[in-house]
Amino acid sequence: MKRKTLFVLCLLSALVMAGCSRKNTESAVPDSVTEENGGETGNVSQGGETEEVSDELTFRGEKLSGEDAVLFSEIKEAAGAEILLFDCADYDGDGNREAFAFAGVNNDGILEGQRWFAGAEGAAPLKNGGEAAEYLQDKRAVVETPENTAFWYTESDGGGATSSLLWGVSDKVPYESVLSGKGEAFTVTEDGTYILYQSSTDAREEGTGRTVKPCYFYYENGSFHEYGAMAVGQDSFLGLPGAAECFAPYEADGYWVRDIHIRGNGLVQLNLRKEDRNVNVTCAWKDGKLSKEEENDGIAGLLVGELASAEWHGPEGALQQLWEKRRAAEEADGIAVEMEPAQAAWYDLDGDGVPEEIRYTVRTGEDMYGADGMEVSIDGKTVWETDQAVSIGYQLLVVDLDRNDGKKELAVYGLEDSGGFSMLKFFAAEDGKLKELGDLREVSILGGLGNLYRIGVFDFDSGRMMRLPGDGSIEIWADTPVFAEGLGSYYVKLDFVFGGSGIAQTERQEYDMKVPLTGGEPYLYTAQQPIPFYSTREECLSGEPSFFAAPGEQLNCAALTPAAENQIYVKMRRTGTGEEGWTVLSDTQVFAETPGWG
């Protein structure tokens, strides 16, 4: 991983560091805390206990007095062990000081023991989910916020993986920050941005190669917020000043774009792939254009989705305009976040206000193509798995089916050759398990006459395939669910609702259609023989035509309704006059040419 050292300050020099006087005291962990009298140091036993020779305490060379000394003594007495880390501050901004500490033993720089807190109610250990000892690195800091509060930072030691731990105080009670344990190397930049580094095994497409990527946060209204990310298409990105220059070297080297996101802090991140290697490139807005800021291995994304903000904090101009355009689209289309199999993501699945850790793994086929199955875990526990093989792979999406219930749902998408899919299952968390809400692939559509085998892209700028307005419904563009040779390929808009019995397609008198799906000019159907058109669909079989399309006349499709197997009622529009009418199409070829794909 590459980092620009001028962009990110080292934590220990950027944060207000530990010690009750808040001076930089980053030194080796002492053998003990000493009590001093006129410059003489009291004797220290091998266990780290001190001998009382005066009322004056020091910790790592800094004198403790007043509230700080009292808090230190309370923790020391309650812990019955050597205090290795200790920091005092007014963490909740109420005018009273509190203390966090770590007591135990120092094993060659790895601290083993337990975290403690002392405040108005005395000293007590911080619960870590059990009685097992904790292991920390010899790092700590008092992290101040713009709102006159602070957090205690430490870094766990888990061998090859570490986690940044953040504790605050609210109403005199200690609590663990929502950021705690979700990344590593907690850092603050010159402009006050908080950074957590996301560790994943995503340097290679098959899920190998550890990478570390920055994720960006700010603090406001008593909470950390992640700068949000809006997906944009490659064409929209390349329309920004300087964007083409940022991408050109990678394009020339054979990289292609996986996805692009604008961050709420004004950064643009490109996730690129070449063969099986993944890299992400961060661009920043400088002097009226984008310029490359840094490059990291792996795939960049949101870390704690529940904290993602839709607010813009970047510069004014073209970048902000594109952000606001994409934000309006997401507001209308809802949330559908595609997860990466090698990364963890945090979203609230049960509505308790605490994000769950979500991961999934895909079992690759023996020939390294496709997948032989997948499994989904929540907070480290496997909650769903399948052995169904798919020819392309699996995706896990975080979606929001109901914007008012405070919960997110999951969707499992099984991809097949030629853009088809074998499953699109939706799940809700319930009692620590996943409850299946239904599988879109299995839903009866168009009165039982249709076959939902492929879904088109709903929004080409973001690449998403579903609209989820948050009212318990889904909208998609289905690819040719009923085929008639006389019409060819097309896309039709279908919507579905979730209910107690699963997913059901909403039946309509007529369905919007597009040929093709893109936002370009609609396909022109050229009549090769006279074609009768009727004012209503019901008149197609027995009524009088309202007009005939003459040979050579061109028409566009407007809507359709299935009539029978391989037979479709189609509303078409004359390009010359705009007049609309219905006709019925089957396998009989009445147009000079019909569109086909897939």
- Cα(356)–Cα(351) distance, rounded to whole angstroms? 10
Q: What is the mean pLDDT of the chain?
A: 88
Instruction: Check pLDDT > 70 for residue 33.
Output: no
Instruction: Check pLDDT > 90 for residue 308.
Output: yes
Strand partners, 118: 99, 123
* Exposure string for 380-390, b = 16+ CB within 10 A, e = fewer: eeebbebeeeb
Six-digit token pair at 23?
């001076």
- Cα(541)–Cα(576) distance, rounded to whole angstroms? 26
Contact criterion met (CB below 8 Å) for 237 and 246: no
Element holding 417 (H helix, E strand): none
pLDDT in tens, 482-508: 999 999 999 999 999 999 889 999 999
pLDDT level of residue 207 (50, 70, 90 thresholds): confident
pLDDT of residue 10: 39
pLDDT of residue 71: 96
Q: Which residue has the higher pLDDT, 463 or 246?
A: 246
Beta strands in 440-486 (DSSP E): 473-479
- Cα(470)–Cα(467) distance, rounded to whole angstroms? 9
- Cα(486)–Cα(151) distance, rounded to whole angstroms? 68
Instruction: Check pLDDT > 90 for residue 357.
Output: yes
Q: How far is CA 292 from CA 2, 211, 230, 340, 527, in A?
A: 13, 19, 19, 24, 53
- Cα(544)–Cα(534) distance, rounded to whole angstroms? 7
CA atoms within 13 A on the CB side of 267: 24
With a pLDDT cut of 90, the percent of the chain lying above it is: 78
Weakest mean pLDDT among 78-82, 156-160, 186-190, 383-387: 156-160
Six-digit token pair at 334?
């809802």
**Residue that the structure tokens 């289905």 belong to:** 478
